[in-house]
Structure 1
Amino acid sequence: MFTGIVQHLGRVTSAQRTAGGLVLSVEAPPAAQDARIGDSISVSGVCLTVTGTSGDVLRFDVTGETLSMTTLDDLTEDLLVNVEPSLRPSDRMGGHFVTGHIDGIGALTERTDTPGETRMTFRTDAAVTQMMILKGSVALDGVSLTLTHVSEGTFGVVLIPHTLSVTTLGTIRPGARVNIETDLIGKWVLKALGRADDTISEDFLREHGFA
C-alpha cells in the first residue's frame, strides 16, 4: 500500500528485456538504504517487488503482464522515475490509498502553465474515467492528485509548482503517457453495489449513503 506522495526520484540504470519481461534497475539512494529483497516499492506508480540490491541500486523483475498494462516498457537508461516505498503503520497518510495496481494508461493532450499552477488534460479509455469522480483522487505515475474535471474518456488535474519540481510530471509534454490508478474506495463501491458498468458521481454516492 502507498500514499501517492512521491518520496524520491530514481534514475533507471538498466532496462534489460528478457523473453518473459524486463529486468529493471533503478538508482534510488534514499529508498535503497532501507530496502530488502521482497519489499514492495512503487516505481512510476507500479507496485514492484525488490529482487536484488547493490549499493544505491534496486533491481526489479517485471512480468510481461505488467509491461502490457503499464508504461514501464517505455523505460530506458537514465530516465527518471517516481519512487515511493510501501506505507508503514507509523507513516503519515498524506495522499490517498494507492495500491500500485494500474487501471489504464493515459496520454497528455493539453498542458497549460500559469503562475502558481499547471493544468493538464489526459485522454484514456472510457472504462477508466467511469471509475472517476469530480474532486476525487487519482494517481498518475504514482502521484496523488485531485480530479478537476471528468468526462467520458478525458479528465483533468491541476498541479502546484512543488509537485512539478519533485516528480516526473514536471517534465511531461503533450503525447506523454502516464500510468493511471483510480481511487480504490470508489472501485469497491461500484463492485459492492453491482454497478461496475456505471459512472461514479456525487449524486450516485449520496444516493447510496457514501457522501
Structure 2
Amino acid sequence: MFTGIIEELGTVGTMNGRPDSIRLTVLADKVLGGTNIGDSIAVNGVCLTVTDMSESFFSADVMHETMRRSSLKDIRSGSAVNLERAMQMGGRMGGHIVSGHIDGTGTVSRIVQDGIAQFIYIKTPPELIPYIVEKGSIAIDGISLTVAEVGETEFSVSVIPHTMGNTTLPNRPVGACVNLETDIIGKYVRRFTEPYGGKKNTLTLSTLLENGF
C-alpha cells in the first residue's frame, strides 16, 4: 500500500524486452534507502516488485499486460518517473490509501492556470467516472490529488506549485496518457451497494453492519 506522496523523481535507465515481460531499471537515490529485494515501489503509481538493486538503481519485471493497461507503455530510457516506497505502519498518512493497482488511464484534456496553481482536466473512461467524487481523492500517475470537479466525461484537479515542482506533472502536456487509481474506499462502497441500486428502502443499517460498515 502507498499514500500517493511522491518521494523522488527517478529516471528510467534500461528497458530490456523479454518473451513475457520487460525488465525495467530505474535510477534512483532516496527510495533505495531501507529497500530490499522483494519490496514494492510504485513507479508512476504502478506497484512493482524490486528484483535487483544497487546503490544507484533498482530493477523490476513488468508484465506485458501491465504495459498495455498503464501509461508505462509510453515511457522510454531517460523518462522521469514518480517513485514512492510502500508505506510503513505507524508513519504519517499524508495522502490517501493507494494500492498501486491502476484502474485505467486517462488523457490530459486541458490545463488552466489559476493563480499560483493549475487546474488539470483529465478525460476519463466512462466506467471510472462513477468512482470519482468531487472533493474526494484520486491518484494520477501515483500522485495523491483532490478532485475539484467531476463531469460526464472528465474531471479536474487543482495542483499546487510544490506538486508541480516535485512530480512528473509538468511533463504531462495536453494529450498525455496518465495512470488513474480511484479511491479504494469508494470502490468497496459501490460494490457493496450495487445489489440495492434502484430498490427503494432495501439498504438498511443492518445490511451495512453485516458487510463490515
Q: Is TM more than 0.5 here?
A: yes
- Alpha carbons of structure 1 residues 130 and 196: separation in structure 2 relative to 1, 3 Å: farther
Query: Corresponding residue for 2:74?
Result: 74
Contact 1:190–1:196 (Cα < 8 Å) also in 2 = no
Shift in Å at residue 65 of structure 1?
1.7
Query: Corresponding residue for 2:202?
Result: none
Contact 1:163–1:170 (Cα < 8 Å) also in 2 = no
Look up the equivalent residue of 1:134 and give its one-letter code. Answer: E
Shift in Å at residue 17 of structure 1?
2.0
Q: What is the SS of the residue equivalent to 1:34? A: coil
Contact 1:106–1:180 (Cα < 8 Å) also in 2 = yes
Query: Corresponding residue for 2:205?
Result: none
Identity %: 39
Contact 1:117–1:158 (Cα < 8 Å) also in 2 = yes
* Structure 2 residue 184 is the aligned partner of structure 1 residue 184: yes
Shift in Å at residue 32 of structure 1?
1.4
- Alpha carbons of structure 1 residues 196 and 40: separation in structure 2 relative to 1, 3 Å: farther
How far apart are the structure 2 equivalents of 1:197 and 1:43? 36
Q: How does 1:3-82 map to 2 (within 5 A)?
A: 3-82=3-82
Aligned length: 200
After superposition, the C-alpha distances for 1:13-38 in whole angstroms (9 at most, x for unaligned) are 11122221211000111111321111
TM-score, normalised by the number of residues in structure 1: 0.90
* Structure 2 residue 169 is the aligned partner of structure 1 residue 169: yes
Flag the structure with larger Rg. Answer: 2
Q: How does 1:13-162 map to 2 (within 5 A)?
A: 13-162=13-162
How far apart are the structure 2 equivalents of 1:65 and 1:108? 23
What are structure 2's unaligned runs of at least 5 residues? 199-207
How far apart are the structure 2 equivalents of 1:159 and 1:83? 18
Look up the equivalent residue of 2:60 and give its one-letter code. Answer: F
Shift in Å at residue 196 of structure 1?
10
TM-score, normalised by the number of residues in structure 2: 0.89
How far apart are the structure 2 equivalents of 1:110 and 1:93? 30
Shift in Å at residue 68 of structure 1?
1.7
- Alpha carbons of structure 1 residues 111 and 49: separation in structure 2 relative to 1, 3 Å: same
Contact 1:71–1:105 (Cα < 8 Å) also in 2 = yes
- Alpha carbons of structure 1 residues 126 and 32: separation in structure 2 relative to 1, 3 Å: same
Q: What is the SS of the residue equivalent to 1:194? A: helix
